[in-house]
Amino acid sequence: MPPVLRLPGLPAGVRRFARPVERVGRLTGALATRAANEVAAPGFARRAARHAMLPNGAVAVFFATGPENLYQFEQWRRPLEELAGHRPVVVVTDRPDTGAELIRQSRLPVTLARGSAALEELVAERDIRLVLYLNQVEANFRMLRFAAPVHIQLGHGESDKASSVSHQHVAYDLTFVGGPAGSERLGAALRGFDPATRTVQVGRPQLDHDYPGAPDWPVGSGRRVWYAPTWEGDRPSIAYGSLASHGVALVEALLADASVRVVYRPHPRTGTASPAHAAADRRIRELLRADRDRHLVDEGPYGWQWAFADACITDVSAVAYDWLGTGKPLAVTQPAQEAYRPVSPLLERLPLLAAADASDVLARLAVSDPGLAELSRHYFGETADRASTARFTAAIEQAYATTGH
Residue ranges covered by each domain of the chain: 37-210+387-401, 223-380
Q: Would you list the DSSP string of 274-315? A: -HHHHHHHHHHHHHHHHTTTSSEE--S-SSTHHHH-SEEEE-
Tens-digit pLDDT profile for the chain (405 aa)? Answer: 444 444 444 444 444 444 555 556 667 888 899 899 999 999 999 999 998 889 999 999 999 999 999 999 999 999 999 999 999 999 999 999 999 999 999 999 999 999 889 999 999 999 999 999 999 999 999 999 999 999 999 998 887 777 788 899 999 999 999 999 999 999 999 999 999 999 999 999 999 999 999 999 999 999 999 999 999 999 998 899 999 999 999 999 999 999 999 999 999 999 999 999 999 999 999 999 998 899 999 998 899 999 999 999 999 988 999 998 888 999 999 999 999 887 788 888 888 999 999 999 999 998 777 788 889 999 999 999 999 999 999 999 999 999 976
Instruction: Tell me how far apart the alpha carbons of residues 211 and 193 are, in angstroms, rounded to a whole number.
Output: 36
pLDDT of residue 3: 44
Instruction: Tell me how far apart the alpha carbons of residues 342 and 295 are, in angstroms, rounded to a whole number.
Output: 35
Are 150 and 399 in contact by the 8 Å Cβ rule? The answer is yes
Instruction: Tell me how far apart the alpha carbons of residues 39 and 96 are, in angstroms, rounded to a whole number.
Output: 9
Q: What is the CA radius of gyration of the chain?
A: 22
**What is the bridge-based pairing of β-strands 174-177 and 199-201?**
parallel
pLDDT of residue 343: 75
Cα 318–113–204 angle (5° rounding)? Answer: 20
pTM equals: 0.84
How many CB atoms lie under 10 A from the CB of residue 235? 11
**What is the bridge-based pairing of β-strands 311-314 and 223-228?**
parallel
Q: Does 37-210+387-401 match 223-380 in CATH topology?
A: yes
CATH number belonging to domain 223-380: 3.40.50.2000
| 109 conformational bin, left if phi > 0, alpha if psi -120 to 50, beta if neither | beta
Determine the topology of domain 37-210+387-401 in CATH: Rossmann fold (3.40.50)
Query: Which residues make Cβ contacts (< 8 Å) with residue 133, sequence separation at least 6?
Result: 62, 140, 143, 151, 152, 153, 154, 172
Instruction: Tell me how far apart the alpha carbons of residues 54 and 45 are, in angstroms, rounded to a whole number.
Output: 12
Are 399 and 152 in contact by the 8 Å Cβ rule? The answer is yes
Query: Which residues make Cβ contacts (< 8 Å) with residue 24, sequence separation at least 6?
Result: none
Write the single-letter amino acid at 40: A
How many CB atoms lie under 10 A from the CB of residue 394? 12
How many CB atoms lie under 10 A from the CB of residue 306? 18
pLDDT of residue 368: 73
| Environment class of 82 (CB within 10 Å of its CB; exposed 0-12, middle 13-18, buried 19+) | middle
pLDDT of residue 396: 98
